[in-house]
Amino acid sequence: MQRLLYLTGTALAGLALTACGEPVPDETDTGTTDAATGESQTATGAMANGSDGGEWPVHEETAPAITEADFAYRISTLADDRFGGRGPGSERGEPAADWIAEEMDMMGLEPAGEDGTWFQDVPLLQITLDEEASSFDVSVGGEPMGLELGADAVYWSQNPEETVSLTESDVVFVGYGIVAPEYDWNDYEGVDVEGKTVVILVNDPGFADPDSGLFNGESMTYYGRWTYKYEEAARQGAEGAIIVHQTEPASYPWEVVFSSWTGAQSGLVPPEDYDFVDVQGWVQLDVAERLFESAGLNFNELYEAAANADFEAVPLENTTLSAELHQTFEETVSRNVAGRLPGTERPEEHVLFMAHWDHIGERLNFSGEDQIYNGAVDNASGTSAMLEIAQRYATAEEQPDRSVIFVAVTAEEQGLLGSAYYADNPLVPLDQTVGGFNFDGMLPVGPTEDVVVIGYGASELEDILEQEASADGRYLSPDPNPEAGYFYRSDHVSLARKGVPMLYADGGSVSAEHGADHVAQIEAAYRADAYHKPADEYDESWDLSGFVEDATLMYRVSRELADSDRWPNWYEGNEFRSLRDEMMAESEG
């Protein structure tokens, strides 16, 4: 099982988010059609018998235009407690996928899933650590540190075995744990970590010294992602890998690490030859500092040294990791939801829209009684934006020349699994996918002067965006937090890695009314208080006018593409350009 990437890229988010209470269901019989079977049912009958004994949220009438009222309805419904935080494969979460399919059905899309349905099955392997029976500790000179799960460390294994163990595995600090020939960088040079445990810094050397010219400066590269670090450790033969959490270079607090890597961990079924690091984990910064001090080393000095190309890995003398992880397994199936509107002139050519419908689900929350991670911003907002645009297409007087396909993907929070599965098993050929748009975690602060482009300077889709934004008096801005590596942390990158040009831009960084500080403060508050926490709930006080502005803009951008014969590519020099060129050359050949 390979968890490809971590977290949603959008810590772009909401106001001080507070619970608004559970919406009262509308008891009206709407007479909808069951999206999965095509049989006529009432909405109440189609979505009844939630595990809490109540009905799933029913459908409301929505407008053809993109409106604040429709945004409020769709976000609040997807963030309803009765969907249980939209955990993929869960009893309460999966009905959210049914609800999305029914919305697509009612607005007039046609099913674009497998075998004429609205769904694409995504088989998942769920591994759950038995926390009570498992152990994980680092010893220095034979003395265990006494690390506590949650407070000091989190740990797990991707290895699908009932018991995974390490006994007195020697520990080596390998800096950033990067091997990058194009940057003339190799943190593993001259050190043998076969069978050992490596301790690794988060992010990449460019973050430590943005003016040094190392890597991509303050913009995180893929080498800074946690997933790469575990993959490289496995290639080097390590049996254990521990990442040191630091809030700034990680761009999220420890609570996000804890909520994301405790409880059941989902992944795609691994290929037989996939190489795992047996024991993976994170430790808090203060744990690393104490560990290094106990081993006679200074963490801060080594942190600075690791940002130099001549850094050499440092063994921690008389320091070992011992772990025994007991796990249970469950094969589950979640679903991508897909609807399509055929083009009138070139129906074989498709414009793709993508947003992830899932969130974290229900799990232990030590800070309060609320155990449901509703994910109103992340990503009920983006899914609602995609549905708003889909309805605008479906009700347009003139249908697009090219086909448009809307895919609500699952298991993003588990590592972009739904989009990765789609990229490997596309519902329309990738060489007939002209380009795509991703929506993830929109910022409810009203209209903005600019439009933030995640991974700014990547593809020619930005040319169309700039044209349409300037018509509104808006301008494009690069991601204000490039060090966070958001381009690699949302679903568009699954398609980008196959070569398909993708655009991820929703919202701006400068409020039209209150300026940049206003947006920055709201984003910071969301990261600290609500991101991947139960507090990410819909609030009726949200200003949704910016959502309408941004979704309307993206409709116009996508419509320009859908009605033209343009085939945008990645800009020259982009890492994905050659993939697209090869794909299209093979298609033409």
Measured CA to CA in angstroms, residue 419 lies from 310, 351, 404, 423, 498 at distances of 38, 16, 17, 6, 11
Regarding whether 560 and 431 lie in a shared domain, the answer is: yes
User: pLDDT tens, 489-535?
Assistant: 899 999 998 999 999 998 899 999 999 999 999 999 998 899 989 99
Least confident among 144-148, 159-163, 260-264, 510-514:
260-264
Residue 3 has pLDDT above 50, yes or no: no
Residue 485 has pLDDT above 60, yes or no: yes
Residue 367's pLDDT is what? Answer: 67
Residue 36's pLDDT is what? Answer: 38
Regarding whether 317 and 200 lie in a shared domain, the answer is: yes
When pLDDT is cut at 50, 70 and 90, the band that residue 259 belongs to is confident
Q: 282-285: which pairs have CB atoms within 8 A and are 24 or more residues apart?
A: 282/153, 282/154, 282/155, 282/242, 282/243, 282/244, 282/245, 282/257, 283/147, 283/152, 283/153, 283/242, 283/243, 283/244, 283/245, 284/151, 284/152, 284/153, 284/245, 284/254, 285/244, 285/245, 285/246
Domain closes at, from 303, 329, 355: 329
Percentage of the chain lying above the pLDDT 90 cut? 72
Query: From CA 463, how far away is CA 542, in angstroms rounded?
Result: 31
Specify if 116 maps to a domain: yes
What's the CATH number where 100 sits? 3.40.630.10
Specify if 27 maps to a domain: no
What φ, ψ does residue 583 adopt, rounded to 5°?
A: -60, -50
User: pLDDT tens, 179-238?
Assistant: 988 889 999 999 999 999 999 999 999 999 888 888 888 888 888 989 889 999 999 999
Say how many domains are in the chain. 2
Range of the domain at 289: 127-329
Residue 245's pLDDT is what? Answer: 98
Domain closes at, from 280, 300, 329: 329
Query: From CA 18, how far away is CA 482, in angstroms rounded?
Result: 28
CA atoms within 13 A on the CB side of 97: 31
Domain closes at, from 329, 346, 378: 329
Specify if 529 maps to a domain: yes
Query: From CA 524, how far away is CA 538, in angstroms rounded?
Result: 18
User: pLDDT tens, 363-419?
Assistant: 876 667 788 999 999 999 999 999 999 999 999 999 999 999 999 999 999 889 999
Regarding whether 344 and 238 lie in a shared domain, the answer is: no
Regarding whether 307 and 413 lie in a shared domain, the answer is: no
Regarding whether 319 and 464 lie in a shared domain, the answer is: no
Residue with tokens 């602060």: 445
Regarding whether 378 and 313 lie in a shared domain, the answer is: no
Q: Return the CA Rg of the chain.
A: 24
| Beta carbons of 356 and 380 less than 8 angstroms apart | no
What's the CATH number where 138 sits? 3.50.30.30
Residue 52 has pLDDT above 60, yes or no: no
Residue 20's pLDDT is what? Answer: 29
Regarding whether 323 and 250 lie in a shared domain, the answer is: yes
DSSP state of 351: E
- Cis bond leading into 379, ω under 30°? yes
In the predicted model, what is the mean pLDDT of residues 541-554? 97
Other beta carbons within 10 Å of 415: 22
Residue 400's pLDDT is what? Answer: 98
Residue 536 has pLDDT above 70, yes or no: yes
Residue 5's pLDDT is what? Answer: 25
Specify if 290 maps to a domain: yes
Q: What is the longest distance spanned by two Cα atoms in the chain? A: 75
Mean pLDDT score across all residues of the chain: 88
Regarding whether 138 and 105 lie in a shared domain, the answer is: no
- pTM for this model (two decimals): 0.77
Query: From CA 409, how far away is CA 122, in angstroms rounded?
Result: 9
